[in-house]
Amino acid sequence: VEPGEIVIFGPNGVKSDRRRCQTKPLTICSFEHIYFARPDSVIDGVSVHSARVESGRILARTHPVEADVVVGVPDSGLDAALGYSEESGIAYRMGLIKNKYIGRTFIAPSQDERLDKVRIKLSAIAETVRAKRVVLVDDSIVRGTTSARIVALLREAGAAEVHLRISAPAFLHACYYGTDVDSEENLVARGRTSEEIAQIIGADSLGYLPIESLDAITGGKGCCRACFDGNYPTSIPANTRKNRFETKLGEKNR
């Protein structure tokens, strides 16, 4: 169902009213392909699973490293890790186990809650990573706190090296739409090099998906990439307050 389209189910069958459909080009969020959508989804004819596998292949070509094993961060990092493994020839193994009852951590309201959720959400398989040079593939880095904790998990399990590869470009700008990426001052990539970020999160190296590769994984459909390049498809709203989820329950009626 397209934006503005009305689908009518009646005794004479199904009818589509497209008189209110948008005439402007659609700019679907590129983060749907990278993170939000289920891997079995198809967005405008593009398989999300295939898009993520291709992002891993691109990472292997643009950010190669000598390593013993490729590990994906469940769930959206697994497909990209598979692509990295296939392209690089480095073995793909299950190195992190996810607690299925913990939700997404990067949208948790406070720093303490995000760290608590990561501690409960993931655990490392020591047999997979012990004394190994690990390529860790994840979908994104926002503030860096979650990535730092995951890297620490692998080191605590005995990993000799951890090379982080991200199947998205660096987050440099706030999102005013559905992704709800935090304000720019809280984005770890803002004003820092990959080497500096790797040091902050404790990784031996860090590589992002090149932004020019987004078309290759999204099918060149003109997706929104404002959180990566700052080119917003609409005007920036006057009220850009991002801490509405920080409000304590007792403060709502004040």
Q: What are 87-103's pLDDT values in tens digits? A: 999 999 999 998 876 55
Cα gap 68→130, rounded to integer Å: 11
Residues 160-180: tens digit of each pLDDT: 999 999 999 999 998 888 776
User: Residue ranges of the domains in the chain?
Assistant: 6-233
Report the pLDDT value the prediction gives residue 58, as an integer from 0 to 100.
98
Tell me the percentage of the chain whose pLDDT exceeds 70: 86
Enumerate residues 6+ apart whose C-beta is below 8 A from 192: 200
* Pairing of the two strands 205-208 and 122-124: unpaired
- Cα distance between residue 80 and residue 83, in whole Å: 5
Q: Which CATH architecture has domain 6-233?
A: 3-Layer(aba) Sandwich (3.40)
Q: What is the mean pLDDT of residues 179-191?
A: 82
Question: In whole angstroms, how far apart are CA 180 and each of 28, 43, 138, 173, 175?
Answer: 15, 21, 19, 11, 5
Residues with Cβ < 8 Å from 48, sequence gap 6 or more?
32, 33, 37, 38, 39, 40, 41, 42
In this predicted structure, the answer to whether residue 250 has a pLDDT above a threshold of 50 is no
Report phi then psi at 134, rounded to 5: -105, 130
Model-level pTM? 0.82
Residue 182 in contact with residue 143, Cβ under 8 Å?
yes
